Each structure stands twice: as C-alpha cells, then as structure tokens.
Amino acid sequence: MSHDERASLIVALGVPVSPDLLELALTHRSYAYEHGGVPHNERLEFLGDSVLGLAVTEKLYRENPDLPEGSLAKMRASVVSTVALAVVARGIDLGRYLRLGRGEELTGGRDKSSILADTMEAIFGAVFLDSGPEVAKALVLRLLTPLIGEIDRFGATMDPKTSLQEAAAAIGGPAPSYTITSSGPDHARTFVARVSVGDIVTAEGTGTSKKHAEMAAALAAWTELDARAP
C-alpha cells in the first residue's frame, strides 16, 4: 500500500492506525498463502469481532431500557451481520485497499461481502491494539450507528434461509432448492450457491464455505421477493 492510499483510508476511518497494523488488517489469507505464508488478518478479525459486539451491545442496552434480552439480541445480530458490515466497508471504499491473492482478485474478491465484513472487523481489531478500546468502540459506533436506524433492512440477514422459506410459503411457492459448486485451491476455496423458489425467483451467492454461500444466495432471493411485495 502506498503512502497516499494509506492516508486516504485513514481519513475515511477518522482514526490513526500504524502502517504495520493497517497492512496486516488488510491482508487476506489468500494473499498470505501466495506470498510464503506471511501473516494475515484472521487474528485481528477475531479481536475486532469482540470489539464490535461489545460496542453495539452496550449501545443497544443503554438506549432500549424496555426491550427484553431476545429483542436486543435480534437487533444486535442484524447490525453486526456480514451484510451490514459489508455495507459499512463499501461506504469507505475498503475493497480498493485489500491485499488479495490472485484467485480472489480474479473472482471479484474486492466486493465479496464476506471478505469486506471480515476485513472491517480486522480494522476494528487493529484500532483496538493501536489506540485502545474506547477509540475502537467509538469507531464502531460512528460507522454502524446509521444502520441501527435501518434494523428492518438487515433483519433477514440474521437467518436468511429461514426468512426466504417463510417468504416463499407466504406467497404459496415451493420450498427453496439449493445447489452448490466450488472452485479454487483447498486453502482458498470459493463456493457458489444457487437457490430457486420454483420459477418465481432464482439467485446466487458466494462465500468461503457452503453455509455462507447458501446464506448469501438466500438473502439475495429474499431481497428480490421483498422488493416485489405490495
């Protein structure tokens, strides 16, 4: 990453991050495998996931004193979902800065929701290590608070396969049917799921596992059905 690119991303984030930590946060495992096993961002992602969860949980708890635990949990799941995090990542053009392996580069990895969401969490982890928990939590809330006002938009992301099944049943359609294909080496495999609800709707989704691909496909199909609703 050039100095200008790093500066541009830091401006978008609004917080300083050391060059080494920022580069690590942007390094996908596919890049690491193709460059002799250099460190990648999955440990930072693990840390950032906890920072994200705590920041959102605390905000929802304090601002919704009358909501029961179950409702708070559903709200949190919507806001911290892969789709919601990918929306945030696209909002700061995170994809342009990713360090990807050739296979991911060729298959559109810079705009894959799963990669964008994981990298966003890694960024949160890097900021936590560099500037401490309060700065990291403030970054999470600055980026994600706008989405809290759009809970319904992301509600289906909690369980898109169930949401699609319910939507199909509501219009008298058949149960969704899934097929899976995969490509790439074992260490960086990409799965593509195709889901059909009879001849009513068909959609595809990609992911780093069969489960994630099916969820992405289900969400795409559900979104299309929801858009058709009167």
Query: Sign of dihedral through CA atoms 79, 81, 86, 92?
Result: positive
Say whether 166 counts as a known binding-site residue. no
Q: Is there a contact between 213 and 191 (Cβ–Cβ < 8 Å)?
A: yes
Q: Starting from the edge strand earliest in sequence, which strands make up the sheet with 177-183, in order? A: 177-183, 190-197, 201-207
Residue 125 CB partners (closer than 8 Å, separation 6+): 25, 43, 44, 45, 46, 47, 48, 49, 51, 136
Say whether 20 counts as a known binding-site residue. no
152 is catalytic: no
Measure the CA angle with vertex 14, ends 88 and 44; round to 5°.
65
Q: Enumerate the β-bridge partners of residue 87.
A: none
Q: Which two tokens stand for residue 223?
A: 């979104």
Say whether 204 counts as a known binding-site residue. no
- Look at residues 154, 82, 73 and name the one whose alpha carbon lies nearest to residue 120: 82
Choosing from 23, 34, 104, 121, the catalytic residue is 121
Q: Is there a contact between 139 and 14 (Cβ–Cβ < 8 Å)?
A: yes
Choosing from 49, 63, 93, 199, the catalytic residue is 49
Helices (DSSP H) in 149-209: which residue ranges?
151-155, 160-170
121 is catalytic: yes
Cα 204 from chain centre: 17
Extract the annotated binding site for Mg(2+).
45, 118, 121
Active-site amino acid positions: 49, 121
Extract the annotated binding site.
45, 118, 121
